[in-house]
Amino acid sequence: MPGKLKVKIVAGRHLPVMDRASDLTDAFVEVKFGNTTFKTDVYPKSLNPQWNSEWFKFEVDDEDLQDEPLQITVLDHDTYSANDAIGKVYIDIDPLLYSEAATVISGWFPIYDTIHGIRGEINVVVKVDLFNDLNRFRQSSCGVKFFCTTSIPKCYRAVIIHGFVEELVVNEDPEYQWIDRIRTPRASNEARQRLISLMSGELQRKIGLKVLEMRGNAVVGYLQCFDLEGESGLVVRAIGTACTLDKLSSPAAFLPACNSPSKEMKESPLVHPPSHGCRSTHNSPIHTATGSRLTQNFSVSVPTLIYTGMGSGSAGKEGGPFKALLRQQTQSALEQREFPFFTLTAFPPGFLVHVGGVVSARSVKLLDRIHNPDEPETRDAWWAEIRQEIKSHAKALGCHAVVGYSESTSICEEVCILSASGTAAVLNPRFLQDGTVEGCLEQRLEENLPAGCGFCHIPYDELNMPFPAHLTYCYNCRKQKVPDVLFTTIDLPTDATVIGKGCLIQARLCRLKKKAQAEANATAISNLLPFMEYEVHTQLMNKLKLKGMNALFGLRIQITVGENMLMGLASATGVYLAALPTPGGIQIAGKTPNDGSYEQHISHMQKKINDTIAKNKELYEINPPEISEEIIGSPIPEPRQRSRLLRSQSESSDEVTELDLSHGKKDAFVLEIDDTDAMEDVHSLLTDVPPPSGFYSCNTEIMPGINNWTSEIQMFTSVRVIRLSSLNLTNHALNKNFNDLCENLLKSLYFKLRSMIPCCLCHVNFTVSLPEDELIQVTVTAVAITFDKNQALQTTKAHVEKSLQRASTDNEELLQFPLELCSDSLPSHPFPPAKAVTVEKTSPMGEGNFRNRSAAPCANSTVGVVKMTPLSFIPGAKITKYLGIINMFFIRETTSLREEGGVSGFLHAFIAEVFAMVRAHVAALGGNAVVSYIMKQCVFMENPNKNQAQCLINVSGDAVVFARESELEVVSTQQPAANCQPACTGGEVTT
Partner 1 sequence: MTSELDIFVGNTTLIDEDVYRLWLDGYSVGDAVALRVRSGILEQTGATAAVLQSDTMDHYRTFHMLERLLHAPPKLLHQLIYQIPPSRQALLIERYYAFDEAFVREVLGKKLSKGTKKDLDDISTKTGITLKSCRRQFDNFKRVFKVVEEMRGSLVDNVQQHFLLSDRLARDYAAIVFFANNRFETGKKKLQYLSFGDFAFCAELMIQNWTLGAVGEAPTDPDSQVDDMDMDLDKEFLQDLKELKVLVADKDLLDLHKSLVCTALRGKLGVFSEMEANFKNLSRGLVNVATKLTHNKDVRDLFVDLVEKFVEPCRSDHWPLSDVRLFLNQYSASVHSLDGFRHQALWDRYMGTLRGCLLRLYHD
Residues of this chain that interact with partner 1 (CB under 8 A) are 13-14, 108, 110, 118, 121, 692, 714-725, 737, 740-741, 744, 747-752, 754, 775, 777, 857-858, 860-863, 865-868, 901, 903-905, 907-909, 911-913, 915-916, 919-920, 940
Give the residue with the Cβ less far from partner 1, 26 or 942: 942
Distance CA 482, CA 227 (A): 40
Cβ 354 vs Cβ 458: under 8 Å: yes
CB of 74 to partner 1, least distance (A): 15
Question: Which residue from 513, 510, 511, 504 is spatially nearest to 556, judged by alpha carbons?
Answer: 504
Give the residue with the Cβ less far from partner 1, 288 or 755: 755
Give the residue with the Cβ less far from partner 1, 604 or 754: 754
CB of 927 to partner 1, least distance (A): 14
Quick one: 514 exposed, middle or buried, by C-beta within 10 A (0-12, 13-18, 19+)? exposed
Give the residue with the Cβ less far from partner 1, 513 or 908: 908
Distance CA 812, CA 562 (A): 43
Give the residue with the Cβ less far from partner 1, 147 or 750: 750
Give the residue with the Cβ less far from partner 1, 645 or 903: 903
* E-strand stretches of 155-271: 156-171, 218-228, 234-247
DSSP type of residue 202: H
CB of 621 to partner 1, least distance (A): 21
CB of 71 to partner 1, least distance (A): 20
Cβ count within 10 A of residue 160:
21
Distance CA 583, CA 600 (A): 26
Question: Which residue from 289, 282, 287, 280 is spatially nearest to 307, judged by alpha carbons?
Answer: 287
- The secondary element (H helix, E strand) that includes residue 542 is helix 518-546
Cβ 574 vs Cβ 505: under 8 Å: yes
CB of 776 to partner 1, least distance (A): 9
Provide the b/e sequence for 851-878 (b: ≥16 CB within 10 Å). Answer: ebeeebeeeeeeeeebbbbbbbbbbbbb
Give the residue with the Cβ less far from partner 1, 22 or 803: 22
Cβ 353 vs Cβ 455: under 8 Å: yes
Give the residue with the Cβ less far from partner 1, 199 or 756: 756
Contacts 24+ apart (CB under 8 A), 796-803: 796/621, 796/705
State how far the alpha carbon of 665 is from the alpha carbons of 284, 535, 644, 656, in Å: 9, 19, 8, 18
Listed in sequence order, the residues at least 6 apart from 898 whose beta carbon sits closer than 8 Å to its beta carbon are 947
Give the residue with the Cβ less far from partner 1, 60 or 903: 903
Give the residue with the Cβ less far from partner 1, 132 or 861: 861
Question: Which residue from 170, 490, 463 is spatially nearest to 324, judged by alpha carbons?
Answer: 463
* DSSP states of 388-436: HHHHHHHHHTT-SEEEEEEEEEEEETTEEEEEEEEEEEEE-GGGTTTS-
Distance CA 36, CA 32 (A): 6
Distance CA 754, CA 760 (A): 11
Distance CA 5, CA 57 (A): 6
Give the residue with the Cβ less far from partner 1, 247 or 720: 720
CB of 693 to partner 1, least distance (A): 9
Give the residue with the Cβ less far from partner 1, 486 or 782: 782
CB of 872 to partner 1, least distance (A): 16
3-class state of residue 826 by DSSP? coil
Give the residue with the Cβ less far from partner 1, 5 or 907: 907
Residue 566 β-bridge partners: 511, 561
CB of 302 to partner 1, least distance (A): 30
Give the residue with the Cβ less far from partner 1, 842 or 895: 895
Listed in sequence order, the residues at least 6 apart from 276 whose beta carbon sits closer than 8 Å to its beta carbon are 475, 578, 581, 582, 624, 625, 626, 627
Question: Which residue from 491, 481, 478 is spatially nearest to 459, judged by alpha carbons?
Answer: 481
CB of 907 to partner 1, least distance (A): 6
Listed in sequence order, the residues at least 6 apart from 307 whose beta carbon sits closer than 8 Å to its beta carbon are 285, 357, 358, 360, 487, 537, 540, 555
Distance CA 983, CA 833 (A): 8
3-class state of residue 736 by DSSP? helix
State how far the alpha carbon of 424 is from the alpha carbons of 325, 432, 448, in Å: 18, 16, 20
CB of 948 to partner 1, least distance (A): 15
CB of 856 to partner 1, least distance (A): 10
Cβ 712 vs Cβ 852: under 8 Å: yes
CB of 121 to partner 1, least distance (A): 6
Give the residue with the Cβ less far from partner 1, 744 or 794: 744
Give the residue with the Cβ less far from partner 1, 405 or 940: 940
CB of 956 to partner 1, least distance (A): 15
Cβ 573 vs Cβ 628: under 8 Å: no
* E-strand stretches of 172-303: 218-228, 234-247, 299-302
Distance CA 114, CA 891 (A): 6
CB of 760 to partner 1, least distance (A): 16
Give the residue with the Cβ less far from partner 1, 587 or 718: 718
Instruction: Determine if residue 359 is left, alpha or beta; phi over 0 gives left, psi from -120 to 50 gives alpha, anything else beta.
Output: beta
Listed in sequence order, the residues at least 6 apart from 148 whose beta carbon sits closer than 8 Å to its beta carbon are 221, 222, 223, 885, 931, 932, 933, 934, 956, 957, 958
Cβ count within 10 A of residue 747:
14
CB of 689 to partner 1, least distance (A): 9
Give the residue with the Cβ less far from partner 1, 225 or 782: 782
